[in-house]
Structure 1
Amino acid sequence: MWRRRPSWGCATRRALLAAALAAAVVVLYAAGGSPNGMPASLFFDDDAQAGLEDIPASNLTADHLLDGLLTTEFSYRSCRSRYEFAGYHKKSLHKPSPYLLAKLRNQEALQKRCGPGTAAHKKALRQLDSGEGVAHDDADCRYLVYINYRGLGNRMLAIASAFLYAVLTERVLLVDGGKEVADLFCEPFPGTTWLLPRAGWRSPLRRLVGYDGGSKESLGNMLQSGAVVVSADGNASWSSPQPPPYVYLHLAGGYGFHDKLFFCGAHQRLLRGVPWLLMRTDNYIVPGLFLMSPFRGELEAMFPEKDAAFYHLGRYLFHPTNAVWHAVTSYYRSTLAAADRRVGIQIRVFHKKQPPQRVLDQLLSCVRDEKLIPETIAGNDTLSHAIMVTSLSSWYYERIKGEYGGRVAGGVHQPSHEGRQRWEDTAHNMRALSEMYLLSMCDVLVTSGYSTFGYVAQVLAGLRPWVMARPPMWADDWTEGLDPQALPCQRAASIEPCFHSPSAYNCATGRDVDLDKVTPYIRRCVDVSCGIKLVNESSSQW
């Protein structure tokens, strides 16, 4: 006999999450965790909300609103990080363009008009479930569903990419992830939700985890199966009288040639009439969108400073919930705020066989060569430094503390060391998110190559990090691709994340091209030889 699932209210969910975090703390301290780590109580402090008053909308300044990125339609108490973010970060010299602000306001109106619970959304769901493929006109609602995939850093980069694609194609963005996303982030759009509602039993949205590169509904497989007809002049059309009700976009790392044809303008025009698009990616595909002729003009108008794309998108979209934000700000005030200069070190090791001592030697060489941390004990006339280390392991923290603990007045700190990454573990991801934001509050960053965790932190901070070379996670041997004569670290060309696996195929000419020679604002990444990133073509202003 089927049992009814218990209905968990917010208080029950909060208690369960608190228990999970408390258990994580016990494990950490049992393993010799840092005494200055983040206790579970930081994430659940009801006293922090007691007596907290809303800031009237009339009192919100341009700094609070990130120069117009944010609106005044949210209450301060509902999401403190939204309007407090600027107070913990340097004043931005990079203003969002008026055109970007207009596009954001239009997207907010679209999300509210077509989002979950509206008549338009209910109608679109009925048509999807019935298998109707309706060629929508511009007055109808169309949707882009981001499929939850990979770790938190990958997901944040992918969601930002999906959001920008939704803006460009006038689609409502719905995010898979449910309760965990709600525990991590506040709603970004006023008057609606970006969370994908639970789907019916027969809905294509029911089991999103089942879609992969082999799915018959993927664009790549449709292009090979004859569902799409390409004429001699390069125009593409559906072989059936109507477009399919939905198309799956497989853009995850390792995706094949036909999946990469997503980046062709002809196929973008084809997708225009599809009511629902389902996207799985663990990539920051924004540089690839800049290479597409249908979008290039719009993107250049939205982002006159090309290397500020995720800088604006990330600050607009991602606002940690009050529980996470309380942990971030409490830890910052107690351990980092008093220092004149904060140095953030992010260490991620992808190969278990890579010797930790080699990683540590590389890091220390980078720090010394670039003079990022003073080598002598600070005197009265010098700046005080604090060092914050983020790593899944405590081994690096302990040795960095042994090296620099007596030299820096602000001390060496590690918020947590969880041992291993735990996908879809809410307590783990709350800690990860808090550490990304703590890194973004530093004045100097040293990060590990290939790490999306580091990418998010550097962009939120608006800092070009020093990046340590790392073997790719897909390499068979940890020495593969590493040059023993290479510098221990290199300064990133911009703050933008790296698109790890772009398509080099030129759709117009039918051959591969050298991507960093196509436009002045696309360059190769210092940490991923095949990757590309956005730079500011005039000069580096960061």
Structure 2
Amino acid sequence: MERESIARRLTRPCAGGGEVARLLLPAAVLVLIWVGTYLRLASPETRSGGAAFGSSGPKNYTSSSSADRLLGGLLSPDFEASTCLSRYQAAIYRNRSPYSPSSYLLHRLREYEALHRKCAPHTALYDRSAAVLRSAGGNASAASECQYVVWIPHNGIGNRVLTIVSAFLYALLNNKVLLLHIPDDFTGLLCEPFPGATWALPADFPIRDLFRFDTKAPESFGNLLESKDASIDSRSYVYLHLPWYYGDWDKRFFCEDSQRTLRKVPWLLLKSDHYFVPSLFLVPEYADELRELFPERSAVFHHLVRYLIHPSNEVWGRVTRYYRAYLEKADERVGVQIRVFDNFWVPFEKMLEQIMSCLLGERLLPKVSENAVAATSIDTKVKAVLVTYLKPDYSEKIRDAYYRRATTTGEVVGVFQPSHEGSQQTDHRDHNVKALAEIELLSLSDALVTTAWSTFGYVAQGLGGLRPWILLRHTQSPDACRQAASPEPCYLMPPRPEQCFGDGGGHAILRNVRQCEDEGGGIKLFD
């Protein structure tokens, strides 16, 4: 009613004559456009997410009636919702997933949760297993009822999430329990994913200073193999060195004979910074189990990351406040994740040109008009662009372009950037809180643009079930960007299949593992 009364007053004939009305009409139209857009953005009924990218109607943040709060059965209902708001709220904020978990995956997750409760820290079985480390002097004298994979963090937040998911799938395949070594800079960022038990490694864990383990560690699996140590399968623990700078002997971790050996070791300490799941699909012994767990190979990470990664209330509060303040009222949300690597440095203007070529060429954003003002209706469509980058340069340029000129379609484009830290500061907790919040915000997009090689982007696309447009390195392709076939991340630096000598490298199931879109030497899961 208010909108109608304003329009009626602005267009009412003037008593002073038609000439005055003619002069005032252009101004009245502009005021109508502004008022209509303002009222529309301020209206509580306005819905974020446009039809162009598959939005699904109004969001109700106080109820999950319009969303599957348990993610198709991935999540257990056995949690107090208030302790971790993101666990059951995330489904309301994100678009509905196009993927459904298999019944067998749900069955195995419930089995794993039972195993985790039985073997978790502060249980008698855990204490018994930890005692083996204290007294065995490097050797396990008896079989342990509970076996463990201990995750050691390495590099940034994206790398950490990718490797948590990878380590969990490895633990699941081998009936081992995943525990996280959580440093101060990572404390309080994630909720516990398993009901009734913690996944945090206790502070009194018998092996001290886990960060000391690296390439030269005598306990590393690669070094033990190279030295032809025959006692590997009787040791109480073995260190698995799997970061990008791992050696040929370390890479034999992915060979079938190595898996059989490591299955006998009660404690495996694992450090990586990559999504190594695709190489697990090349181990013939796991083929049948993986096929039953994940009939859709393109959704492996999507299912597991939504099962495991739930931001704490501190992080989720940042996500929801920012979303509702800046992004919620838009018709469509476009996430743009930018990363310029030191070893693949790109001049600013060239990178900006590539970003805009992708956004405009793929019709994710409208072109800018030559005119400062374009004819627009009251029901102007609004697009919100969320930019994540360590500096404000790109978002300011994009914002300025759409602020100075109208668009050829009449759409209004708003550009937002939550933070610009200047540099990556993984050892600072507040930096990691912001980073995780921005990954979550990107995952709420209707369309997503990411940077080749970026683990930050990989996590966002997996959480959102999104097929991103990848900004390719200039040496790869003349195209500005290419849309990914699935939300699956790339394993950027995998071992070669022939690394396993006589194992055959999993050629029977190689059809599901192919070259990535953003890295010729990387491998990725495909249907």
Q: Is 1:464 equivalent to 2:467 in the alignment? A: yes
Task: Assess, with a 3 A threshold, how the Cα gap between structure 1 residues 378 and 149 changes in structure 2: closer, same or farther.
Answer: farther
Aligned-pair CA distance for 1:403: 1.7
Q: How many residues align?
A: 453
| Residues 282 and 516 (structure 1), Cα distance of their counterparts in 2 relative to 1, 3 Å cut | farther
Compare the two structures and name the one with the higher helix fraction: 2
Matched, 1:213 2:215: yes
CA distance in 1, matches of 2:138, 2:389: 49
Shift of 1:297: 1.1
CA distance in 2, matches of 1:136, 1:364: 62
1:455 matches 2:421: no
CA distance in 2, matches of 1:219, 1:282: 17
Over residues 66-88 of structure 1, what are the superposed CA-to-partner deviations in whole Å (9 max), with x where a residue is unaligned?
Answer: 11111111111100000001001
* CA deviations over 1:500-523 (Å, ceiling 9, x no partner): 11111336654997x999522212
1:334 and 2:325 aligned = yes
Partner residue, 1:402: 400
Letter of the 1:374 counterpart:
P
The aligned amino acid for 1:464 is R
Q: What do the CA deviations read for 1:289-320 (whole angstroms, capped 9, x no partner)?
A: 11111111111110000010010000000101
Structure 1 runs (4+) deviating above 6 angstroms are 59-62
Task: Find the counterpart in structure 2 of residue 171 from structure 1.
Answer: 176
Percent identity for Structure 1 against Structure 2? 45
Contact 1:332 1:438 (C-alpha < 8 Å) held by counterparts: yes
In structure 2, relative to structure 1, the CA distance for the partners of 1:508 and 1:442 (3 Å cut) is closer
The verdict on how the C-alpha distance between 1:516 and 1:510 changes in structure 2, with shifts beyond 3 A counting, is closer
Give, in whole Å, the separation in 2 of the partners of 1:493 and 1:517.
Answer: 22
Contact 1:248-1:278 within 8 A present in 2 as well: yes
Of residues 349, 352, 356, the one that matches 1:357 is 349
Q: Which residue of 1 aligns with 2:133?
A: 128
Task: Report the TM-score, using the length of structure 2 for normalisation.
Answer: 0.82
Contact 2:452 2:471 survives alignment (8 Å): yes
Deviates more, 1:400-409 or 1:524-533: 400-409
Q: Tell me the CA shift for residue 222 of structure 1.
A: 0.7
Kindly name which structure, 1 or 2, has the bigger radius of gyration based on alpha carbons: 2
Q: What is the one-letter code of the residue matched to 2:388? A: T
Corresponding residue SS for 2:510: coil
Q: Which residues in structure 2 correspond to 1:197-236 (within 5 Å)?
A: 197-199=202-204, 203-204=206-207, 206-228=208-230
**Shift, 1:372, TM fit:** 1.0
8 Å Cα contact 2:252-2:500 kept in structure 1: no
**Letter in structure 2 aligned against 1:215:** A
Deviation digits for residues 196-243 of structure 1 (CA, Å, limit 9, x no counterpart): 11135xx32x11111111111111111111213xxxxxxxxx47xx61
Equivalent position of 1:71 in the other structure: 76
Alignment partners' CA distance in 1, 2:126 and 2:467: 41
Query: Using the alignment, how far apart are the partners of 2:225 and 2:314 within structure 1?
Result: 46
Instruction: Indicate how the Cα distance of structure 1 residues 168 and 135 shifts in structure 2: closer, same or farther if over 3 A, else same.
Output: farther
**Mind listing any 5+ residue stretches in structure 1 that lack a counterpart?**
1-54, 229-237, 471-478, 537-542
Question: Out of 86, 90, 97, which is 1:85 matched to?
Answer: 90
The equivalences for 1:34-73 within 5 A come to 63-73=68-78
User: Is the 2:138–2:237 Cα contact (8 Å) retained in structure 1?
Assistant: no
How many Å separate the matches in 2 of 1:256 and 1:266? 18
TM-score, structure 1 length as denominator?
0.79
Choose from 179, 193, 200 the match for 2:198: 193
> What is the CA distance between 1:379 and its match in structure 2?
3.6
1:126 is paired with a residue whose SS is helix
Deviating more after overlay: 278-287 vs 86-95: 86-95
Q: Is the 8 A contact 1:516 1:522 kept in 2?
A: no
Deviation at 1:132, TM superposition (A): 5.5
Other-structure match for 1:234 = none
Cα distance in 2 for partners of 1:496, 1:393 equals: 27
Contact 2:165 / 2:301 at 8 angstroms: preserved in 1? yes
RMSD: 2.3
Query: Once the two structures are superposed, what CA deviation does each residue of 1:95-123 show, in whole Å capped at 9, x if it has no partner?
Result: 11111011111111111111110111111
| Alignment check: 8 A CA contact 1:338 1:410 kept | no
Gap runs ≥5 in structure 2: 1-61, 369-373
- Within the candidate set 387, 390, 403, 1:389 is matched to 387
Question: In 2, Cα distance between the equivalents of 1:164 and 1:382?
Answer: 46
